[in-house]
Amino acid sequence: MSIEWAISAALLGLAFTVFFDDASTSSIVIGLLISGPIYLAFGAVMAKLGYQRASIRGARAQRAATTASGSGAPAPRPKPAPTKRTGGGTQRRR
């Protein structure tokens, strides 16, 4: 999670220095450094509330498991029990 913050902080720092050249660079750097702990705290709160982010490794593992277990297609849903409306009950002929 801290790698994501470092990449975004580097990109934002580059963008700020390119587009806002009149602002002081030190205030930009200080602001980006302060944003790191805030980002990590927000992630910790979200994890405490049960949020789990999707990962590339998890998606690859899930895809590999489905292809290893069969044709790769999801299993078909079972048919529901027949009812009167679907023709499973007694029908009167006229």
User: pLDDT band at residue 92, thresholds of 50, 70 and 90?
Assistant: low
For residue 45, what pLDDT is reported? Answer: 92
* Alpha helices (H) in the chain, listed in sequence order: 2-19, 25-48, 56-69
For residue 90, what pLDDT is reported? Answer: 63
Structure tokens at 77: 């849903």
pLDDT at 37 over 60: yes
Q: What mean pLDDT is predicted for residues 8-15?
A: 87
Q: How far apart are CA 37 and CA 49, in angstroms?
A: 18
Instruction: Return the closest-CA partner of residue 4 out of 45, 39, 47, 28.
Output: 39
pLDDT at 17 over 60: yes
Structure tokens at 46: 């979200």
For residue 87, what pLDDT is reported? Answer: 73
What's this model's pTM, rounded to 2 decimal places? Answer: 0.50
